């Protein structure tokens, strides 16, 4: 589902059309400041940054869910192996014996791998988030130094995965 946002600049209306973040993203091109269309970059980058922030939050949630799943599995297996080791040896298993039995359990290893992969994916998105935050800060400093924002400075095209189109604004004068 696409979304359209109209921004009024002087006598022009800048229309931004964007869909969900592309499934394949050339990270380097998104993180470079586009001096050829600085206004386009300034206008569109917050949308990309927002989408990255949402993906980062989702990845962080996945890490927390994988950790919870691992902990639940380990708790269930502790109970199972406590009973099994007691039945086999007729004595209470040591903490180390219990930990070893759980670590060797194939299901536990699978849950551990899911957790590790979720952490890795979050790490990638976290690094992208902080790089995008850095670019966002640089763009904000550029905006602060600009005297005026002129619609003439906006170049039509697709920037940061967002299509920009400019049209003449219809100015209504109030009496």
**pLDDT by residue (tens digit) across 64-74?**
999 999 999 99
Q: Write the burial class of residue 165 (CB in 10 Å: 0-12 exposed, 13-18 middle, 19+ buried).
A: middle
* pTM, two decimal places: 0.69
Cβ 99 vs Cβ 105: under 8 Å: no
The answer for residues whose C-beta is within 8 angstroms of residue 171's C-beta and 6 or more apart is 11
Per-residue pLDDT of 3-26, as tens digits, reads: 565 655 556 665 656 555 555 667
Q: Is the pLDDT of residue 162 over 90?
A: no
Q: What six digits make up the tokens of 127?
A: 């690094």
Task: Say which residue, 145 or 53, is predicted with more confidence.
Answer: 53
Share of the chain above pLDDT 90, in %: 36
Residue 160 above 80 pLDDT?
A: no
The pLDDT assigned to 46 comes to: 87
State CA 28 to chain mean position distance.
Answer: 15
pLDDT value at position 172? 47
User: DSSP letters along 57-94, please?
Assistant: HHHHHHHHHHHHHHHHHHHHHHHHHHHHHHHHHSSPPP
Q: Residue 106 — φ and ψ, nearest 5°? A: -60, -40
Highest mean pLDDT among 26-30, 50-54, 170-174: 50-54
């Amino acid at each position: 589902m696409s979304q359209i946002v109209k921004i009024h600049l002087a006598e022009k209306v800048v229309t931004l059309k964007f869909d969900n973040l592309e499934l394949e993203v050339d990270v380097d091109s998104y993180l470079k400041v586009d001096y050829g269309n600085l206004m386009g970059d300034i206008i569109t980058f917050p949308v990309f940054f927002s989408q990255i922030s949402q993906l980062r939050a989702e990845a962080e949630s996945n890490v927390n869910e994988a950790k919870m799943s691992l902990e639940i599995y380990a708790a269930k297996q502790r109970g199972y192996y406590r009973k099994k080791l007691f039945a086999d040896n007729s004595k209470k298993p040591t903490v180390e014996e219990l930990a070893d039995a759980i670590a060797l359990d194939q299901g536990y290893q699978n849950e551990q791998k899911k957790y590790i992969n979720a952490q890795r994916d979050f790490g990638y998105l976290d690094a992208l988030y902080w790089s995008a935050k850095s670019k966002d800060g640089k763009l904000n400093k550029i905006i602060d130094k600009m005297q005026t924002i002129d619609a003439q400075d906006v170049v039509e095209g697709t920037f940061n995965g967002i299509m920009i189109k400019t049209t003449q604004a219809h100015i209504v004068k109030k009496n």
